[in-house]
Structure 1
């Protein structure tokens, strides 16, 4: 068992979203109750007793290699149950040690399960310590009353009342208490964290677990005794496998759901006319596939047909359709729902502004009701437009920056910051933005999430984002100075030297001082190769060298010596390998597939998959 007492059989983590959100880590020692919790929304009914009416939720099980699994759950509460002020937070969430005389059992449970650490100055080698600080920001500050924080999380009440308890050899007070709900803690007798939040970050945090795929494991099978002189083929020995731990195994054996969402979300197709995707089996006759009736029927085309024959359907947007109509996949048609309140949430698939007409089609589908065909969408007040963009303009949908703002807001819910910066650069170059500065100020925070983790200076973060966007805009043939964005600091070394992102990353690769002197211990053959290759580097002469030798003869040793020497001279040395294992043993190494975007499955027509904004570094 780990050294923390609260690690037990089934930690269950829950988070709520909207103006009233809560996060819960809980645990059940009773397998019958655990099964009930996962079946028929049992646990949601339990939560209603403590938090109120739950209108929507999503849960996902996180399995860890070094720790026990736990459940994340995001709850969206009804308007009557939302936590809208500090008094509401205090009713369901506590971050203090309870009165020992008045609540002896609860006090014992909080001491046993809900105290973090000790860490920081009390224990510097605690696993939560990173660069000398606790990554969970403990100990927190004392606070006489609950306050609404700036980062969507409240600052809970932690009064300096002098109460202390001794835990793991240290005296801890209210600053070390993890927020909890007294009722759930008493019910489950386990570590159960409860947080109130109202940020989209909670959604992004949970859904990364849903879409990251199964855990992977790489290993090799080696004989117990190897013959002297035997050549080891690392490529053939490499195995790419899926990792399934004992906790995940028993979860699957018991049939517990590892992900669920309510209400369900239906992804709505989006395509231009006669450009819908078609699936077929290998060997099928393509003429038969094209003439097949189902090939021309999609969610979108059937949406148009339903509007044509059903006047009731014309009252709803495409994204509202699943709430009132049910998509029958086998028959490929929409059917009106008989029972109200059983609908789905519709989400039109994402379209990038650089896609042109498909993007403007999405704008129209989000604002126009009752369309009966693609041509109908192009008609505005009886006048036919030449394309979807013109139709958007005549309807007033893109006269302002609202559609571009919506695009960035939508993308921020699931795209990483660098992808958002690329999207912003694309909008600058290819879209007609009237209020660029306001668009920049509104979305700067989401575009700089990765930089803000390690850089507290907001001005420095802004410059980092500007440099990235400058490089992206430059790769598209434009100058960032023509868009009215904040000025770049030309005194900044990283910015003024004009180097691209790739060059900056390679120049930042560190090398061990011990590796610099490795060339002094090379054998005769290794030293000959080292001197020859280094001579070409220093004299700027191009040459290809092939280093060959049996396993264990020191090829990697030679590579490390060369890499350290070249990098110590202030030059760039790119280390690539065909496998992840080989790349991991070289300083700054990456696989060739990652470095040069080589497809995993190669065909006669395969090419390196560089995206259009990428630049080749000379």
Structure 2
């Protein structure tokens, strides 16, 4: 709704010689009455159907309507004088038409505008920007705030009359999801408005699972009640979620690692597992480890067999420990990464973190290549190099020789 200063309710109350811009009080009162009437029609008369919610904001222009064209203007460049600029602006700076008027618009997908037009305009930020020279050692935040604060005469009268700038229904207050005995707010039935629940990142596992239960358990009276399924109270939120079937099945994680086993090297499989643990909510991580630990530890077994010159050697706890170390190191390299123990997986023994007591892991890894296998690949593929590839290959050999 846009206030029109030429509304009859305004012009009929002007004194001789007055114009609407001389009576901001009159404009504010008439607009307020029209807003109240409109909301009455929406709330009580259901002119748009039964209302579930509403939100509106009052915004006042900082300039008079007759001043707008002198400050803001927009026009397309002449297509004859500058066809390239004309084409760029009409292609990238003008939206529409779309929707039913132009269903073949490039912005349309599945019958909807991908740019989400038409948009609902609610509010904006500060109305003024200040640029000037100042002492860089003097930071007067109060002055800067006051300079950027501007209230027009329209808005000033609106506020003096104590009319609301913003209104919404229902009165919703977001609540943080917290674990038991970590409540930060207190409220009762009399003073509690409708409340919504904050989203929780899956990495915050306990709170994420708690929120999952809050969304699916009706009328819980305690944290223990949230963990109750039928007549059984489970010890953890994860167990309660699994029993209710709220967590994804482990099968698709198993299939992903099985596919990686066919196409990737063992250390890559461990990295994929680390990414799954860090980014996803895996229901049974221990089961996943038990199913794929040999594929993740295969490099270490191969290295051990080569060093011992014994192909009969099999997997040991020490070999699996090395695989766990690699997974945990990858996890800890992520922002906010957690150790394996946080995922209910075995904690690796870091006393055996290095292949050699004198070599760091990164250097020891460079010594663990299968030179016989690499030589065989070289012999097989060297003859298929193109002329450019051979030139680069020979230059590299000469450089490292």
TM score, norm. by length of structure 2: 0.42
Structure having the higher strand fraction is 1
TM-score normalised to the size of structure 1?
A: 0.29
Structure 1 or 2: more helix by fraction: 2
Highest Rg: 1 or 2? Answer: 2
